Copies of this chain bind each other. A is one copy, B any other.
Amino acid sequence: MGNPIAAMLVIGDEILSGRTRDANMHHLAGELGSAGIDLNEVRIVADDRAAIIQAARSLSAAFDHLFTSGGIGPTHDDITADCIAEAFGAPIDVRDDARAILEAHYEAQKTTLNDARLRMARIPDGATLIDNPISAAPGFTLGNVHVLAGVPSVFQAMVASVLPTLTGGQPISSSSLRIERAEGEIAGPLAEIAEQYDQLSFGSYPFHQNGIYGTNIVVRGSDSSAVKMAILVLQEAFLDATA
C-alpha cells in the first residue's frame, strides 16, 4: 500500500524561454511530501493548446492527482481552463458562482469587472472551485485535476486550500548525511547498504566545495525509524569514529 502518486503540469512559456525560474514546483514538492503524496513527475509545456491538452490527459490517467500551475488569468495567453475542459470533454462557460466571487471582489476594490476579468469565471461544468484568498479569481478541481494559478503567492494559497481536501498517505521522512569523500570512493558500500534497505530510497549527490570533493547522501521513505537506522549505518560505514 503505497502513498497516492501525483504529477504536476506547469504551463510556462516564461520558464521554457529561460526568463524565470520555476518556484511553484519546489513549493508543491515540499507540501505534497508533508501530506504523504508522492510527486513522481513534472512536465513543463508552452502556452500551446495541443500540448496542454495532451499532457493533461496523459498525466491525469497515469497518476492519482494532477496539479497544474499557470494560465488562468485574464489575458489572451491564459488558456488553461479551456484546455482542461476540452481535455476531459466538459462544457465550459462563465459560471454564476465564480462570477459572484469576482463581482464581490472588484466591487470592494471599486474596479470594473470587465470582459477580460470575467474570463476568469470560466469554469468547466462539474468542477469544484478552489478558494483564492489573495486575488479572488478561483482555481478549480475537475476529476483528479487541480487547476491552480501561476503567480507564486496565489499558487501557494491555492495549494493550502486544496491539499486538506485530499487523502494522503504516510508523510515521507527524509534525512541526509554529508560525507567528505568522493562519490566514486563510497559507491560500492553505499549500493550494498541501499540494497539492505530496499523500502527506502538512497540519493547520492556529489559536491565540490572549498577544495573538498564530497557526497551528500539523502535517505527517504515513509518509515521514519528505518530512515534513522539507515543513517546510523551510513555513519558507521563512512564517517571516522569521533569520541
Interface residues of A (CB under 8 A from B): 13-22, 25-30, 32-33, 39-48, 51, 73-78, 111, 114-117, 119-120, 151, 153, 172, 174, 176, 182-188, 190-191, 194-195, 201-206, 208, 218, 220
Complex contact A51–B41 (CB within 8 A): yes
Which residue of the partner chain, among B32, B43, B203, contacts A41 with CB atoms under 8 Å?
A: B43
Which of B22, B73, B182, B184 is the one whose CB lies under 8 Å from A183?
A: B73
**Number of chain copies forming the complex:** 2
Q: Does A203 lie within 8 Å of B46, measured CB to CB?
A: no
Cross-chain contact A40 with B45 (CB below 8 angstroms): yes
Q: Look across to chain B and name the residue whose beta carbon is closest to the beta carbon of A70.
A: B205
Chain B residue numbers with a CB within 8 Å of A13 are 201, 203, 220
In whole angstroms, what is the CA distance A14 to B172 when docked?
A: 13
Once A26-B21, A76-B191 are accepted as A-B contacts, the answer to whether A41 and B45 lie under 8 Å apart by CB is: yes
| A33 pairs with B18, CB closer than 8 A | yes
- Set of chain B residues within 8 Å of A116, measured between Cβ atoms: 183-185, 187-188, 191
Set of chain B residues within 8 Å of A220, measured between Cβ atoms: 13, 17
**Which 10 pairs between the two chains have the least Cβ-Cβ distance?**
A116-B187, A18-B29, A18-B30, A76-B191, A75-B204, A117-B184, A42-B44, A74-B184, A75-B187, A74-B187
User: Do the beta carbons of A76 and B187 come within 8 Å of each other?
Assistant: yes
Closest residue of chain B to A39, judged by CB?
Answer: B16
**Are the C-beta atoms of B43 and A77 separated by less than 8 Å?**
no
> Shortest beta-carbon distance, A89 to chain B, in Å?
24
Q: CA separation between A225 and B53, bound complex, in Å?
A: 33
Chain B residues near A42 (CB-CB < 8 A): 15-16, 42-44
CB <8 Å contact, A75 and B41: no
A212 to chain B, nearest CB (A): 14
Q: How far is the CB of A12 from chain B (nearest CB, A)?
A: 9
**Chain B: minimal CB distance from A78 (Å):** 8
Q: 16 interchain pairs (CB within 8 A)? A: A13-B201, A15-B25, A16-B39, A17-B218, A19-B176, A20-B205, A22-B25, A42-B44, A47-B201, A73-B204, A74-B184, A75-B186, A75-B187, A76-B195, A116-B185, A117-B187
Task: Report whether A206 and B151 are in contact in the complex, using a CB–CB cutoff of 8 Å.
Answer: yes
Are A17 and B174 closer than 8 Å at their CB atoms? yes
